[in-house]
Amino acid sequence: MAKPLILVTNDDGIVAPGIRALIAVMKEIGDVVVVAPDSPQSAMGHAITINNTLKLERVHLDNEIGQEYSCSGTPVDCVKIAVNEVLKRKPDLCVSGINHGSNSSINVIYSGTMSAAVEAGIEDIPAIGFSLLDYSWDADFEPIKKHIKQITLEVLDKGLPEGVVLNVNFPKLAQEAIKGIKICRQAKAMWQEEFDKRTNPQGKEYYWLTGKFVNQDKGTDTDEWALANGYISIVPVQFDLTAHHAIQSLNAWDL
């Protein structure tokens, strides 16, 4: 049987250790094409480039990969240009990551990693976003590689429900300390933002966004609970943002 065609992307940039680790796993499974940002694009969400040009450059960071490109745009740009300009056919799977840091709970909204996966889902491509709860550039991805392979093979074998992509987060633990995998819901949480106000040498004021993550959810079926208790969390994410449960009550309005 022909090997599956796998598109790999991320938001930390094409040279990030996370994506290089993900590429290594995907090479064991299928034929890999990489299209990833040429520089870090974290927290870009679902941004696309419309007021500037996009540059796509062929790179050779791994001689075992036939096609590898760096793109000047966002993670979503990378998926769009891969599907429309690089690939000769629709890939069997798109994987995004491995992100350096958490994309659990509300972070999925801001995540460039997950937005790339969501864009692939919009294109009707099965997609997974992978993240490790370690923001360090030299994070150790070895303990999670076997789990990434396991999850990827399951998706290729069984597919995903229509309109759904997977948000997979790994705790920062040794391989033997990971207790297992839990299918979860997204925890209700938020960022309490603060702005650090400063003044530059020219006397102009500027701000640094800071803040604290607050988990408001006490449930034991959430991604935050799973990660805090040594489990890998998998949250099925949908890109239909319609609040279907609200339609009936809104129809009762005097409109």
Looking at residue 92, its pLDDT comes to 97
Looking at residue 79, its pLDDT comes to 98
pTM score, two decimals?
0.93
Q: How far is CA 227 from CA 52, 113, 168, in A?
A: 39, 18, 11
Looking at residue 43, its pLDDT comes to 87
Looking at residue 146, its pLDDT comes to 96
Tens digits of residue pLDDT in 94-108:
999 999 999 999 999
Pair of tokens at residue 54: 């996009």
For the chain, what are the domain ranges?
A: 5-186+220-239
Average pLDDT score, the chain: 95
Is the pLDDT reported for residue 180 higher than 90?
A: yes
Closest listed residue to residue 234, CA positions, set 145, 116, 174, 155:
155
**Range 113-145 burial, b when 16+ CB lie within 10 A, else e:** bbbbbbbbbbbebbbbbbbbbbeeeebebebbb
**First vs last C-alpha separation in the chain:** 57
Under a CB-based contact definition with an 8 Å cutoff, are residues 169 and 227 in contact? yes
**Range 152-175 burial, b when 16+ CB lie within 10 A, else e:** beebeeeebeeeebbbbbbbbbee
Q: Work out the percent of the chain whose per-residue pLDDT is above 70.
A: 100
The Cα angle at residue 126 between residues 125 and 131, in degrees rounded to 5: 120
Looking at residue 84, its pLDDT comes to 96
Is the pLDDT reported for residue 1 higher than 70?
A: no
Is the pLDDT reported for residue 183 higher than 80?
A: yes
| CA–CA separation, 14 and 1 (whole Å) | 30
Banded model confidence at residue 213, pLDDT cuts 50, 70, 90: confident
Could you tell me which residues come within 8 angstroms of residue 242 by beta carbon, excluding any fewer than 6 positions away?
none
Looking at residue 50, its pLDDT comes to 93
DSSP strand E in 55-173: where? 56-58, 67-71, 93-100, 127-132, 164-170
Is the pLDDT reported for residue 90 higher than 80?
A: yes
Tens digits of residue pLDDT in 32-83:
999 999 999 988 899 999 999 999 999 999 989 889 999 999 999 999 999 9
What's domain 5-186+220-239's superfamily in CATH? Survival protein SurE-like phosphatase/nucleotidase (3.40.1210.10)
| CA–CA separation, 47 and 34 (whole Å) | 20
Banded model confidence at residue 211, pLDDT cuts 50, 70, 90: confident
